């Protein structure tokens, strides 16, 4: 399967990417020379990671018939100070509601399968930086 994105320079430090027919603005912060009219590219990589892995986890839990009613993910990445300022480490946190009474073994298995087998974004980013993950249950 081929993936294609078209990105158009919109002036100054602003760009607009077309992804699957959806417009996605990108820009730098004002202090970096932009107008802050969109997210920065590196955090978008983290959004792609959480979206990809999150879709895996929801799909796997559904197949396991786990009663998940709420789910969120957090991603944090530290970058090197010198250019090209790549990620030096990435941390994911899968968050679930305690009140859903999910089987913790199934939740861990779903997250593990996403990280080890299904999430292509995770697999690509792991080649560049160590990726760790954890699970939290929220009241």
Q: What is the mean pLDDT of residues 7-34?
A: 96
> Residue 135: what pLDDT?
98
Regarding whether 118 and 94 lie in a shared domain, the answer is yes
Same domain, residue pair 26 and 90? no
Confidence of residue 116 (pLDDT cuts 50, 70, 90): very high
Same domain, 66 and 14: no
Q: Sorting pLDDT into bands at 50, 70 and 90, what band is 106?
A: very high
Tens-place pLDDT, residues 36-79: 999 999 999 999 999 999 999 999 999 999 999 999 999 999 99
Whole-model pTM: value is: 0.93
Res 67: pLDDT: 92
pLDDT at 91: 98
- The tens digit of pLDDT for each residue in 81-102 reads 999 999 999 999 999 999 999 9
- Residues 6 or more apart whose CB falls under 8 angstroms from that of 66 comprise 100, 102, 103, 106, 107, 110
Are residue 22 and residue 50 in the same domain, yes or no?
A: no
Domain boundaries, position 55: 41-138
91 and 108 in a single domain? The answer is yes
């Amino acid at each position: 399967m081929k993936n294609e994105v078209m990105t158009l320079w919109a002036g100054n430090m602003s760009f607009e990417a077309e992804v699957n027919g959806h417009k996605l603005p990108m820009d730098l912060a004002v202090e970096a020379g932009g107008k802050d009219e969109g997210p920065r590219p590196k955090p978008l990589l983290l959004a792609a990671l959480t979206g990809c892995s999150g879709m895996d986890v929801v799909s796997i839990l559904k197949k396991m018939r786990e009663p998940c009613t709420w789910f969120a993910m957090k991603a944090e990445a530290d970058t090197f100070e010198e250019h090209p300022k790549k990620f030096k480490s990435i941390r994911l946190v899968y968050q679930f509601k305690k009140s859903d009474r999910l089987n913790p073994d199934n939740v861990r298995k779903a997250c593990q399968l996403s990280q080890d087998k299904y999430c292509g974004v995770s697999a690509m980013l792991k080649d560049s930086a160590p990726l760790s993950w954890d699970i939290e249950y929220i009241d």
